[in-house]
Amino acid sequence: MSEKKKGLFRRLFGAIWSVYRGFRATVLNIIFICLVLVIGSALFSGGDKVQIADTSALYLNLRGDLVEQKRYVDPMAAAINEAAGGQEEAPEMLVTDVVKLINHAAKDNRIQVMVMDLSALGGGSLDKLKSVGKALEAFKASGKKIFAYGAYYGQNQYFLASYADQIALEPMGAVLLEGYGSYPMYYKNALEKLKVSTHVFRVGTYKSAVEPFTRNDMSDAAKEANSAWLNELWADYKQQVAERRGFGIDNFDETFAAMYSKLQAAEGDLGQYALTSKWVDAVQTREQFRNSMIAIVGKNDNNTYNHVTFDEYKKMVIPAKQFDNPNTEKIAVVVARGTIIDGTAKPGMIGGDSTAALLRRARHDDKVKAVVLRIDSGGGSAFASEVIGQEITLLREAGKPVIASMGAVAASGGYWIAAPANEIWASPTTITGSIGIFGLLHTFENAMSTIGLNVDGVGTTELAGFSAGMPLFKGLSEPAKDMMQLLIERGYTEFLTMVGKNRNMSNEEVDKVAQGRVWTGSKALELGLVDKLGTFDDAIARAAEMAGLSQYDITVVQPELSPTEQIIADLFGAAKAKGWLPSATMQPEQRALRQLTQQVKQDFVLMNQFNDPNGIYSYCLSCQIN
């Protein structure tokens, strides 16, 4: 039988589509080949070496958030975004890179001074800022001076600027030190208007992680707990800055009335207000500051002072590839940063399986003699936290000491994964504790009926369809709610028991400091929740001491990129380093809009990441600082 002949229009459009596909494939292949050739030449070319004058300044122009592990960003997507003139949503810098650069500059005879430009510095917890500050103090101890110059100093920027020998401000600039706050967004009314039912199961008087979905304001218990640790952090901030700047802690304006009075005396001039308050040492135009630096280190061909930028110096100091010596004994570092989820996760989040796999690699590596788990997490999945905790226990049983080193936050699930370690080290301003768990489920039975939808059918048992998501459409029955609450209470008991076993405390003793209550590192030390206060370096030194090591290397155990991802990262990374990819600067109005929308986005992305197989979570939402 002969094949039926296609119609005229079908053949016509088929031919057009074939031509289009061929044209598209050809164009894309040409573009890709050109990109590979151009970027490949950047990767393998040896020119454009950074030249540093005999007398020069390190221009420390920090851009982005200070972090201890960069989140995973798809290299191809990032390169295409930058090539199109876009900008990285939230650029990040490794604290270790910044510290390494400053320490190297302290010993570099060509670097005479440092100029800090902190205008693009984003977020950074006190412990990270202090790590950079310690390196700045070492730089000054080498006999070299630090100058800070900028148009605006927010709280993070000013904390680092306070280490400088001189802080200069542009004539129309400002210094704003507003204190710490915790201001979550609350969604109860919005959910009710959308006819979404919220079901909460929790244990802990202070377990306020679910409050944004169940209330329209912060509860008195949450306000009490949050005020305590926020005031401790603010007191620490004021004390340190005041000591470096040589004034009292009463110099901080904490009311609008006090600020207005000083501004009135300065006739509304924010620069003069900062100068009178001794926040800054000088008000200078850019040309004045530029000339003052030229007098110290000389002028270059661009009619400014001799300097090398942060990125330029980084290319010289930090090799693109890090290679471990296979013959040396090692302290392994595993970084656990972000929300804890079940399964695997890219850097910037903590996957129960993927982080456990990193710990397991350290356990089976004969050259690794001890492990430091660096934690910066508000928690997440209780199941995934336990998976990670089991690997830490196995490391201890293998004779390899484990030190949990807490960064900015190690609360809820973040504390869960710290508890099994041989010792827990925190910084005084670490936010920790929040020992408690909860379950949260939104159902849409009322919303379904409002828009005229329904789900119905039959099952062999009352439980049929439960795991498939039927409660989302039908709601939860009272027996189902009782069952969920029972599971949460059991999970809380297991949390208490695990902490008590590892901290040599009874369940009753743990419960007194638990109930979801958040503590600072200093208070946690008093309560027996941590063993020592110290820095990340202190934790590494303690791990080496426990392992009996006097000579050792530090190796960071981290996920490896696939061969394809590595090639793309190398190619586009080289092009970016050459400055061949355009970059854009976020304007003030864009930054304000981002801050406005970021919290809503983070809250709902967070809820979407909650994938505990039992629906049980240990997370501290209130540990975020505004």
Active-site residue list: 207, 412
From the number of C-beta atoms within 10 Å of its C-beta (0-12, 13-18, 19+), residue 621 rates as: buried
Q: The dihedral of CA 478, 484, 486, 489: what is its sign?
A: negative
Closest to 556 measured CA to CA, from 331, 325, 366: 331
Helix/strand/coil (H, E, C) string of 415-469?
Answer: HHCCCCCCEEEECCCCEEECCCEEEEEEECHHHHHHCCCCCCCCCCCCCCCCCCC
CA dist 272 and 288 (Å) reads 17
| Whole-number Å distance between alpha carbons of 431 and 379 | 12
| Cα distance between residue 616 and residue 352, in whole Å | 14
Q: What count of Cα atoms within 13 Å lies in the side-chain half-sphere of residue 397?
A: 8
* Phi, psi angles (nearest 5°) of residue 401: -60, 145
What DSSP state is assigned to residue 298? -
Token pair of 123 as six digits: 């977020």
How many angstroms separate the CA atoms of 37 and 580, rounded? 13
Question: What per-residue string of b and e applies to 269-308 under the rule 16 or more CB within 10 Å gives b?
Answer: bbbbbbbebebbbebbeeeebbebbbeebeeeeeeebbbb
Whether the CA torsion 14, 15, 16, 20 is positive or negative: it is positive
Tokens representing 602?
A: 């983070």
Determine which helix (DSSP H) or strand (DSSP E) holds 301, and give its type and residue range. none
CA angle 244, 249, 255 (to 5 degrees): 130
Distance CA 17, CA 23 (A): 10
End-to-end CA distance of the chain: 75
Name the nearest CA neighbour of 426 among 528, 547, 514, 553: 528
Residue pair 580/42 in contact by the 8 Å Cβ criterion: yes
Cα–Cα nearest to 74, from 454, 363, 346: 346
Q: Helices 126-141 and 220-245 meet at what angle, rounded to 10? A: 10
CA torsion angle 592 596 597 601 (round to 10): 120
The answer to whether 332 and 371 are in contact (CB under 8 A) is: yes
Residue 419: CB atoms within 10 Å: 21
CB 403 within 8 A of CB 423: yes
For 319, the 3-state DSSP assignment is: coil
How many of the other CB atoms lie within 10 Å of CB of 75? 19
The token duo for 500 is 């008590």
Helix locations, 451-562, DSSP H = 470-474, 478-503, 507-513, 521-527, 536-547
